[in-house]
Each structure stands twice: as C-alpha cells, then as structure tokens.
Chain A
Amino acid sequence: MAMSPHPSATAAPVVLAVRDLVKRYGVAVAVGGIAFELHKGEVLTLLGHSGCGKSTTLRMAAGLEEPDGGIITLRGTVVAEPARGTFVPAERRNVGLVFQSYAVWPHMTVGDNIAYPLEVRRVARAEIRRRVAAIAATVGLGDLVERPATQLSGGQQQRVALARALVYEPDVLLLDEPFSNLDAKLRDEMRDQLRELQHRLGTTILYVTHDQTEAMALSHRVAVMRAGQIEQLGTPHEIYENPASFFVQDFVGRTVVFAGEVVGKTGAALAVRLAHTPSVTLTASAADGLAVGATARVACRPEDIQVTTQPAGANAVPATIADIAYGGDHFDCLVRAAGAEIALKLPKSAAPTLGQSLTLALDPAKVKLWRA
C-alpha cells in the first residue's frame, strides 16, 4: 500500500533542507538537532507520538516558529539560521500549510478564503476568479464557492484549507495532522483524494502525523521521530521491514514481543531463550550488538508467525487460545504464548476452541532481537 517510489528521489532538486535543527522551550528540548531533505515532488512524513517534535519541526519550516540552532533552506535560500540571525518570516516563504484545526476564516466565504493568498500576491481579479474556480473544482468544492465558511462540515473545511494552501502553488505544502479531526470513513476518503491530487499536481509535501497507516499510505519516505530526534528515515518499506530500533518496530505496524536472554552465538545468528518458557530457544537473524548473557526483546510481526496444531518443532513457541471472537469469515483469537498476549486471525477451517494448544512457528529470518 506504500506509494510508488518517488520517480527520481535523488535526481530531483532539493526543495526543503533542514540541518542540525534545534528548538528549545526553556530547558526542554523539543527538537534536538535533526536533518532531512525534501525533494521536488516528494512526500516526506514526520511520524511520531504527540510531543516528539514533529509539529514543531513543521512550524519551523513554515516560519511560524524560530529555531534555536541549525539551518533551514528553501529552494537553496537560507530561510532560518539563528547563528547568523537569519530568519525569513512565514509570509515571505511561499509555503502552504494546512492546520489540524483547518483555520478556515469564519468571516469569509469559501471563495474569499481561497482567494486570499492570491489577493495578497496582487494577482489580477479575473485571474483570481479563474484560479479559485479551478482549485475549488480540483478539491471538490466547485459548487460551494459562494457559501459562508461557517456553514461547512468538517470535511468541507478541510478541503477549503487544502485549496487555500494549494491555490498559490507553494514550493512546499505542509500538512499538520490534517485528517485527525475527521471521522474514520471520511479520513480514508480524504487520504485517497490527497494521494490522487499529489500524483496529479506533483506537489512537494511535508506531512506530519501520528497515524502510521496514513504515513505508510501517503509517503515516499517516512522519518520516525522520538523525543526530538529522527529515529529512522527511509521508505515505508525500509521502515517496516528493517526497523532501525525497537521503538520503530514497535511503533510502525503490529509487533509481537517476547522477553528472552541470549544464550549462544553462531556467526550473525543468535540463540535466545525465552524468559517465560525457558524450554524454548529461538534463532534470530538481526541483532543489536548483543552479547551472550544479555537480556533481549524478541520481536516479530504477526504475519510472520505460522500457526499450526503440530507439536513444537525448531523455532516454535507453544501457545494456548485464551479468547475467541467470531469474525464472520475468520476467527479473532487471543493467544497466550511465553508471557505475551497475541491477537491472531485464524481461518474458519482451523475451527479453534477455547484452551486449545497451538504452536507458533517463527521465521528465523524475520525474528529480530533488541536490547531490553
């Protein structure tokens, strides 16, 4: 479901570049020296929990927040460099921003809202009318241009905010959790539309969200942020398949975790004994520089677990079914194994029963070990 790779990720010119970016609030460090580049036509998502510094980073890129250190360049021009006292305010950056609250001006009509940035840029009246009508049609607001902004639904306000941010063809479109105030169905719909729009217009987007599904679906690259740092920057595929840390693995996608201890080492492969079920020893492929004797977290994706009723073989964990919910075309089962509770989907053909013993076979190539 990830986006098709960015056509020329490295060949396309850099639109927005950030280096050593720092922002402090008093003694608290909101952003602790991060760096990334955004290429023309690329969608880059800053993904993380609330308070990880992603929104602050976006606001610094917009020019609404002044950084305390580092450099921000837009199309090769330095727009913020506190060390030299350089700061270009938001109104001179030519970026677009869609706020989480939409910030649609309530005293204007839809058309007035969208026309505002063009008026500010002294575009001729006829040209404004033409471009407002065009962008309104693009985002699906064609027949609402005359409507007062106060008479709009959440989804419509969202579209107004998007149209207002796109109408002047900004160098970068900044999106700050734009869909988080919409209900689930509308959110999916808007996400698909944004994808489609980005494909069509080739807009360069810096996207901020805490929703990893959104991040995966929309982005060419994702930067997972934690405590003001970028934990990992890569394509959705890289982030999901090769997480750089336990945090990334746990945050992106679903993860099954067992506690264990490293008991042996053969080349790159490690043997790990599960803490709750010492009889089981697993082989894991990836490692975090762990030595024999270290306690570790054994992590794998639920889809890499094979459920069988056969007795445990190599790299398998015994489990029992603790709860079953009928899900129509499948069963949603809660399975207990080695001190962990795992939600698994079982086919109807498996006909699970409560308390039934199962075996969870783990693919050694997919099991990862992290320092506990």
Chain B
Amino acid sequence: MASLAEVSAGPRPRYVARTVQRWVWGAIVLAAVGAITLGPILVVVEGSFETPGTWPKVLFESKAAREALGYSLLFALRAPFAALIGFFIAWLLIRIPIPGRGLIEFMFWIAFFLPLIPMTLGWTLLLDAHNGLLNELIKSWFPFVTESPFDVHSIGGIFWVHMTASSVPVLIILLGPAIRQLDAVVEEAGRVCGSGALQVFRRITLPLLIPAIVTGTLLGFIRGLEAFEVEQLLGAPAKIFVYTTHVYALVNWEPPRFAEAMALSTLVLFLLLILALIYQRYTLGHSYATVTGTSMSLRQFTVGRWRWAIAAVLFLIVIVIVVVPMAFLVLGSMMKLFGMFEVKDPYTLAHWRLVLSDPAFLPSLRNTIVLGLGAAALGVALYAILAYVIARTKVATRGLSDFLAWLPWCVPGILLGVGLLALVLANPLLTPLYGSIALLIVAVTIAQLPLGVSMMKTSIHQIGIELEHASQVCGAGRPRTFVRIVLPLMKPMLISLFVLVAIAAIRDVATVLLIAQPKSLPLSVLMLEYATNGNTEPAAVVGIVTAALVIAIAVAARSFGLQIGRAR
C-alpha cells in the first residue's frame, strides 16, 4: 500500500470544473429556448402597455373585446361533449372487434390531419342558408318548410364544423392510448368478484378512465380558445367574433390597432396559462390510467352480430365527418357557381384553370412544400437535441428550459404570429426575416415545440441508458454518442415526428397568417384569402390541393409502417 501516498501527488489534467460547464451550457440552452418561446410573448405583453389607456379600453370600454372573449369561452364549451363522444367512439374502436376497424381508425386520423378550411368550405356548400344543398333539398322535399333549416354562418354552424372536423377526431386519437393501456386484468378482477359487465364498466373501467376524459376535456377547452380559421370563415360574415378573429381584425384595421390586440392577447394568454398549468397538474396527479404495467392483455368484448351494427354506425360517422364535406368540396370546385345546382350545365373546370394559372398559386405551393419540409427538418433536429439535453444531461436550468419549451403549448397561433411580427419589425437585426419563408418555418417550429420535445423525450427514455454509457466508455463524447447511438435508435419516432410537423405546417393558418407576405404566402393563407374575399370556388380548389397533400403524406407514412392510424 506504499503507493497510496503517491496517489495524490499524481499529475492532474486541467479540466474546467463540471459545475461551470453545466452552468455555461445551461445558460446557452436557456437563452436559446427563452428567445424563441418567451421572446414573442414578452413582446406582446410589453406592447400592451406601450400606449396609455389601452388596458382600460380593452377591459372596460370595448364591447367587441368582451363579446369576443364571451364567444371564445362559449365555443370552447364544446370540449366536454367532444371528450365524451370521442371517448365513446375510441372505446368502441378498441374494445369491440369491429369489422373494418383499421380503416375506420385511419379515417379518423385523416379527419384529424385534414386542414380545417376545406372542411369548412365543404360544410358551407351543404349548409349555407342561401343555397346550401341540404337546405335546398329539404325545402324541395317538404313544401311546408320555407325557411332554410340550417345556417352554417351561426353559432350552431361553428359548433358543428368544429365538432366534426377537429374536436371529436382529436379526442378519439388522444384517448385511444389511455383505453388501450387499461389492463384487462383489473376488469377481469371485477368480473371474478361477481360484478356484471355493465357494473364493471361503471365501477371500474370508467373511474380509471375519467382522468383521461378530464384531460381530454381540458385540452379541448384550451385548443378551443385558440381556434381561428373556422371562426373566421363562418363567424366573421355573421358578425360573430371570437378572441382570435377579433385580434386578426384589430391587426388588419387601418391603421392597425396593435396595442389593443396585444392587451387582449395578454389577457387570454394569462387565462390559457392558468388552464394549462391546471392541465399539467392534473395529468401529473392522475397518471395511473395511462402509465400502467408492461404486459397488456386487452380483452375485447364479443357482441355477436351487434358488431356489424356498430361498424355501420361508425362508418356512417366517418362518412359524414370526412367523406361528405370532402366530396362536396370536390364537386363545388367544379361548379360554375358554388352550390348552384339548378343552373343549366352547372359543371366547369374553369376554377381549376383559374387557380392553376393564378401567378400566386405555384409560388404558394412551393412555399407550402418548403415550409413543410423546412419546419419538419429544423423542428425534428431542434426537438431531438433539446429533448436530449433535458432528458439525459445534467446541464443546469434544464428544468426551466423544459418549462419554456412547453410554453407555446398554451400560446394561440394568432398570438405567436402577432408576437413574431412585432419582434421582427422592432428589431433591425431580424427585419431581413420579414417576408421570408424562413420566418414562417421558425414560427411553425416554435408552435410545434411542445409536442416535438415531449415526443422526443418519450423516445429517448425508451433507449436503455447503458447503450449510451457503452459509447462513452468506448471513448465517444456526448455529441458523437448522440449522433451515432441515440439518433439511429430514435429513427422511427424521428420519422413520425417529421411527418407530424410537416402536416402541421401545411395545415397551419393562424400562426403564419400575420407574418406571411406576398412572397412567402403558403397555400393555407392563399386559401383563406380566396375564401374571405368571396372567391369560394378557387378557395375550394386550393383546399383540395392542400388536403390531397396532407392525405398523400399520411398514406405514404402509413405504408412505410409508421404508427399512424394503425390498429394494434
């Protein structure tokens, strides 16, 4: 043991103290995440205080602001209904051996992915008070009906389109995993204890799934407050304004009323932040329904011939919410006058020719593709690195970085757009971004940050830590380990996320609307412009192109074996 004395006398390599390293990296990561997530928000909050008198005006004087908030909350109230319907459909899809289940589930995924503007236009064609097809049919079938029974430009119309095109499909997809993970053993235990099937459902299954339903409701409520394009297309003509469309109107005012828009946004942001924190608290406290054991034995109920009836009902729902609006949209795009079936020789390809020859169309298509690919590439890279830093390193302040990365989750797209616009216009260094597609890519990347980081974190946690440690012991540093070991093992999830972000970028309207300039106009904004200017038929053409793009990506992803709408 003589050499023990010499141990401390040995040479010491010079390394910067680890704590210092961790704080330096922590500061860099925090600054980067803070700049992109907190930056636009702070600009909005600060902007609301710039003009004196803005806050009293928004809080006490502006009837429009009050109404907008009221309508926003009213429409968000669809969340519990959507959650219940979504839960019920998801439960049927998973627990009953329905013929054609895979197709039905895939159609709900399509419904979830489809852009909202073409769906809205499809429903307008059917339910418009003046010449909606369904209204006309009912009036011709029932002579005593003289007034149109439906008006899509109404509170009910907005409810209907949102429920069918967004809320219910979203909740079916969100609640699916929770139902799937419910171990059948707990139900069987109930059966063995002498309870009937219905009693087991009521006493065991439902209580276990209530957290998932509440989570879905809260999420639906928050997303409801952030919705934009349906309210813009259906509400604005009927003078129904919600928070997002009101902000859009304020910004488009001549001259723009930025201060009011920002004050209203600050107010809504505050509300959303509280809701989002409640949501986070709740999901943390009630995770037992979603994180159960590893061996799942999912028992399906045998319902005999009833499964055909259930399948028929579900197919009918899918047809009503996806096929019907899309089919009529296609039909409408080929009509001389949208919805006018009675004119002589009503069909034409003129709108297609018009749109395809519109000098704005091809650049917009290109912009949309660049936006989709750019946001997906930038996003996946950023989310993967950030998630890795948060999940696997000891970098200081990574908890705070995690929180900041989550923040855009409760920031409405229109607010992020206002913030980015103000940020770019106020900062000479960033001004070159104005009017470039890069700004749109950044905007979508920020908007998808929470989803991306959480998906990447899940994926990283699934990789055994020893696989990384083995690489480090072999002499590879953190960056090389990340590139050579972690990324290849995450590949399936990276591709899934790439697809999801690309689709989100193509669908997005609210985030990019205010920052898109003629040169950087994507299809989604072009479509909105056509539709709000009364050019419904060209809007339908663009809508079909956009929808086709999204469906093509979803189908391609599915055929590559990705877990999109695949029944397991």
Contacts and interface: CB of A to CB of B under 8 A. Distances in A.
Sort A-B residue pairs by CB-CB distance and give the 9 closest, nearest first.
A117-B474, A103-B470, A103-B466, A85-B17, A90-B472, A97-B473, A120-B475, A107-B488, A120-B476
A35 interface: yes
B464 interface: yes
Contacts of A62: 469, 473
A263 B140 CA distance: 115
A86 interface: yes
Interface in B1-50: 1, 3-4, 6-8, 10-13, 15, 17-19
A77 B13 contact: yes
A64 B472 contact: yes
Nearest to B466: A103
Contacts of A77: 10-13
A19 interface: yes
Given A105-B485, A107-B489, A91 B475 contact: yes
A101 B18 contact: no
Contacts of B480: 120
A26 to B, nearest CB: 16
Nearest to B471: A116
Given A17-B4, A103-B466, A105-B485, A87 B475 contact: no
B469 A76 contact: no
A80 to B, nearest CB: 10
Contacts of A215: none
A53 B23 CA distance: 30
Given A97-B473, A103-B467, 11 more contacts: A73-B10, A85-B18, A86-B15, A87-B18, A91-B475, A97-B470, A101-B466, A105-B470, A107-B489, A168-B474, A168-B475
A101 to B, nearest CB: 5
Contacts of B7: 17, 19, 71, 73, 78
B11 A76 contact: yes
Interface in A1-44: 14, 17, 19, 35, 37
26 contacts: A19-B4, A19-B7, A63-B472, A73-B10, A77-B10, A77-B11, A78-B7, A78-B10, A78-B11, A84-B12, A85-B19, A86-B13, A87-B18, A88-B15, A89-B472, A91-B472, A91-B475, A92-B475, A103-B464, A103-B467, A106-B489, A107-B488, A116-B484, A120-B476, A161-B470, A164-B474
Interface in A59-96: 62-64, 66, 71, 73, 76-79, 81, 84-96
B477 interface: yes
Interface residues of B, number: 32
A168 B474 CA distance: 8
Interface residues of A, number: 45
Given A37-B1, A103-B464, A120-B480, A94 B11 contact: no
A93 B15 CA distance: 13
A86 B12 contact: yes
A243 B518 CA distance: 85
Nearest to B489: A107
Contacts of B19: 85
Question: Which of B7, B10, B473 counts the most chain A CB atoms within 10 A?
Answer: B473
Contacts of B17: 85
A174 B467 CA distance: 16
Given A14-B3, A97-B470, A91 B464 contact: no
Contacts of B466: 99, 101, 103
A121 interface: yes
A289 to B, nearest CB: 24
B473 A64 contact: yes
Interface of B: 1, 3-4, 6-8, 10-13, 15, 17-19, 464, 466-467, 469-477, 480, 484-485, 488-489, 491
Contacts of B488: 107
Contacts of B15: 86-88
A63 B1 CA distance: 24
A88 B475 contact: no
Contacts of A121: 475
Contacts of A66: 18
A245 to B, nearest CB: 20
A312 B313 CA distance: 90
Contacts of B467: 103, 105
A89 B481 CA distance: 13
Interface string A167-185: 0100000100000000000
Contact of A76 (B10, B473, B475): B10
Contacts of A165: 473-474
B276 to A, nearest CB: 32
B472 A81 contact: no
Nearest to B484: A116
Contacts of A19: 4, 7-8
Interface string A306-332: 000000000000000000000000000
Contact of A91 (B8, B10, B11, B477): B477
A59 to B, nearest CB: 8
Contacts of B10: 73, 76-78
Contacts of B485: 105
Contact of A90 (B8, B11, B18, B469): B469
B474 A120 contact: yes
A114 B56 CA distance: 70
B381 to A, nearest CB: 19
Contacts of A105: 467, 470-471, 485, 489
Given A77-B10, A91-B476, A103 B469 contact: yes
Contacts of B18: 66, 85, 87
B490 to A, nearest CB: 10
Contact of A117 (B469, B475, B477): B475
A91 B473 contact: yes
B12 A99 contact: no
A88 B10 CA distance: 14
A129 B466 CA distance: 26
B474 A116 contact: yes
Contact of B476 (A73, A79, A84, A116): A116
Given A76-B11, A107-B488, A116-B484, A37 B474 contact: no
Contacts of B489: 105-107
A87 B346 CA distance: 79
Question: Which of B8, B17, B485 counts the most chain A CB atoms within 10 A?
Answer: B8
A95 B469 CA distance: 12
Contacts of A89: 472, 477
A37 B470 contact: no
A90 B12 contact: no
Contacts of A97: 469-470, 473
Nearest to B472: A90
Contacts of B477: 89, 91
Contacts of A35: 4
B469 A64 contact: yes
Nearest to A86: B12
A106 B467 CA distance: 9
A165 B1 CA distance: 29
Interface in A124-165: 161, 164-165
A95 B12 contact: no
B4 A95 contact: no
A87 to B, nearest CB: 5
Nearest to B488: A107
Question: Which of A14, A81, A116, A168 counts the most chain B CB atoms within 10 A?
Answer: A116
B13 A88 contact: yes
Nearest to A174: B473
A32 B449 CA distance: 44
A112 to B, nearest CB: 10
B494 to A, nearest CB: 13
A121 B475 CA distance: 7
A85 B20 CA distance: 10
B476 A95 contact: no
Nearest to B470: A103
B11 A37 contact: no
A90 B481 CA distance: 12
A90 B468 CA distance: 11
Nearest to B394: A66
